[in-house]
Amino acid sequence: MNRVKGKTVLITGASSGIGLSCANIFASQGAKLVLLARREKRLEKVKKKLEEDYKVEVRIFQVDVCNREDVINWSEKLEKEGIEPDVLINNAGLASGLSKLHEGDFADWDRMIDTNLKGFLNISRVILPKMVEKNSGHVVNIGSIAGHMVYPAGNVYCATKFAVRALNEAMNIDLYGTNVKVSSIDPGAVETEFSRVRFKGDLKRAEKVYEGFTPLKAEDIADAVFYVVNTPEHVNIQDLVIMPTAQRNPYLLYREGQEQN
């Protein structure tokens, strides 16, 4: 049964990876899309393709989720245009660098905290009130297994994803008594632009992350997001942890041809 047809789905970080795959699956099922990211050219291409392939309405907005003023202005624009998202997929996020805390880079920390935590809050704060007012809606937070267990040198990234897990729980508590659903999807290793971003364009280092095992694909996560959103009104999946079969926790990853710990 398709419960998303005609609904408006807002996806942050829709220019690549998991967000882009979510845009694809929801468009293929007849949802209207509102897509956000900083890279406008990418969003333009996505819009063109989805509108051609699926004949659905796709609105795109160049918004940096970290910029609170821009987020507020953008949300006022949405309201003026009468766009009311039924589903919010809080996906925009990144890791920046990988170093021990005592060797960490302040700029990397700020980037991760500003995007994964403050950006997440900025978007949630402007979108949730309408859902509460209408007494319906669904927020899907893209967390991580890094929010369940800290891995070596993952310190600040893990802390932001622990925070996302806490906020997923907090949203569920704060929305008690309403029909607004809140879910977290917590992936293990997914092959996207994530590692390229983490290692600042060092492709060799990024590719190494996915060597010797079959990582999750962005589509695997989008399938799960779709499943969670498509559940009946009375079903609220609060947290879903998904890892590649080769991975059993954030750092226990079986790689063929390599000496295992």
Ligand X SMILES: NC(=O)c1ccc[n+]([C@@H]2O[C@H](COP(=O)([O-])OP(=O)(O)OC[C@H]3O[C@@H](n4cnc5c(N)ncnc54)[C@H](OP(=O)(O)O)[C@@H]3O)[C@@H](O)[C@H]2O)c1
Q: Note the residues at the interface with ligand X (CB under 6 A).
A: 12-19, 36-39, 42, 64-66, 91-94, 115, 119, 142, 144, 187, 189-190, 192-194, 197, 218
Nearer to ligand X, 17 or 97 (CB): 17
Nearer to ligand X, 2 or 245 (CB): 245
Q: Which residues are catalytic?
A: 157
Nearer to ligand X, 121 or 197 (CB): 197
Q: How far is the CB of 91 from ligand X (least distance, A)?
A: 5
Q: How far is the CB of 90 from ligand X (least distance, A)?
A: 8
User: CA 128, CA 200: separation in Å to the nearest integer?
Assistant: 33
Q: How far is the CB of 219 from ligand X (least distance, A)?
A: 11
Q: How far is the CB of 35 from ligand X (least distance, A)?
A: 9
Nearer to ligand X, 180 or 243 (CB): 243
